[in-house]
């Protein structure tokens, strides 16, 4: 009897897990379609970074424009510009600009385009539950990386159950750091010139440009 109970419990758990995964995928597929239907978008967010082992905490706000493969983002005092071919990371404190190929960006680096589509590659998704975030009903979905070598253990997504918009992203790192991105504003199809995504050295006098 005990053996039968274990088998039935495992079967029920497996069926529930499969259903939850399918539900997560359906929600995320719908969200992906909504993002891909945009010719461009603008997003504003706030972010906090906490490390429980060192008891440290920092906060900053950010905003970003995305148009196809191009994006422009400001994170606190720093700026990242990408024209889809090259990416310029501008560090104000160092007065340095780091230039890389867009397709060779750090796998764990977060930009506004990646933030809004982070679930699309490299993860297994699992539906957790319906919860409330700032008074709004949201789906809570967990992403688990397929690559065991990455520095994060999971990513939690809060997706609005009514507007089907991403509301919060929480990244949990192996070093006990948690990075939280809370979406404050999302604008569909704003008019944005391609010049927004072009780095101009004249705007950063005295900065050192370092190319990979």
Domain range summary for the chain, segments of one domain joined by +: 2-69+108-188
User: What is the pLDDT at residue 21?
Assistant: 86
pLDDT of 5 strictly over 80: no
**What average pLDDT does range 42-69 have in this prediction?**
91
pLDDT-derived band at 106 (thresholds 50, 70, 90) equals low
In this prediction, residue 122 carries a pLDDT of 87
pLDDT at 109 (0 to 100)? 63
Tell me: pLDDT of 153 over 90.
yes
- What is the predicted pLDDT for the residue at 17? 39
Q: Which two tokens stand for residue 194?
A: 């391609």
- Of 90-94, 103-107, 188-192, give the lowest mean pLDDT range: 103-107
* 98-107, 138-147, 153-162, 193-202: range with lowest mean pLDDT: 98-107
Say what the pLDDT of residue 121 is: 85
Q: Which position has the higher pLDDT, 205 or 148?
A: 205
Query: Residue 81 in contact with residue 87, Cβ under 8 Å?
Result: yes
**41-51 sheet: strands from edge to edge:** 123-133, 136-145, 152-160, 166-173, 177-188, 41-51, 56-67, 70-75, 78-82, 86-91, 96-101, 208-211
Q: Band of the pLDDT at 29, cuts 50, 70, 90? A: very high
pLDDT of residue 201: 93
Q: What is the mean pLDDT of residues 115-137?
A: 92
pLDDT at residue 51, rounded to an integer: 92
Average pLDDT over all residues of the chain: 86
Burial class (CB in 10 A: 0-12, 13-18, 19+), 53: exposed
Look at residue 138 and tell me whether its pLDDT is greater than 90.
Answer: yes
Which residues are CB-contacts of 153 (< 8 A; sequence separation ≥ 6)? 144, 145, 172, 173, 174
Q: Tell me what pLDDT residue 18 has.
A: 38
Which listed CATH number (3.40.720.10, 2.50.20.10, 3.20.20.70, 1.10.3720.10) goes with 2-69+108-188? 2.50.20.10
Which regions of 116-176 does DSSP assign to beta strands (E)? 123-133, 136-145, 152-160, 166-173
Structure tokens at 139: 């789906």
The runs of H, that is alpha helices, within 109-196 are 112-115
Residue 107 confidence class, pLDDT cut points 50, 70, 90? low
The band of 150, judged by pLDDT with boundaries at 50, 70 and 90, is confident
| Nearest by Cα to 143 from 100, 172, 114 | 172
């Amino acid at each position: 009897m005990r053996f039968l109970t274990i088998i039935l419990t495992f079967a029920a758990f497996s069926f529930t897990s499969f259903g939850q995964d399918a539900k997560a995928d359906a929600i995320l597929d719908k969200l992906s379609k909504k993002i891909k239907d945009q010719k461009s978008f603008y997003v504003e967010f706030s972010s906090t970074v906490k490390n429980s082992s060192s008891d440290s905490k920092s906060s900053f706000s950010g905003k970003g424009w995305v148009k196809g493969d191009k994006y422009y983002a400001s994170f606190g005092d720093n700026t990242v510009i990408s024209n889809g071919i090259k990416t310029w990371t501008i560090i104000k404190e160092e007065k340095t600009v780091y230039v890389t190929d867009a397709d060779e960006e750090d796998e764990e680096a977060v930009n506004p385009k990646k933030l809004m589509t982070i679930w699309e590659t490299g993860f297994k998704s699992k539906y957790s539950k319906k919860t409330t975030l700032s008074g709004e009903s949201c789906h809570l979905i967990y992403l688990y990386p397929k690559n065991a070598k990455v520095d994060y253990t999971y990513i939690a997504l809060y997706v609005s159950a009514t507007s089907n918009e991403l509301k919060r992203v929480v990244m949990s790192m192996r070093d006990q750091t948690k990075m939280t991105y809370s979406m404050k504003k999302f604008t569909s199809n704003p008019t944005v010139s391609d010049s927004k995504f072009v780095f101009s050295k004249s705007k950063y006098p005295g900065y050192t440009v370092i190319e990979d």
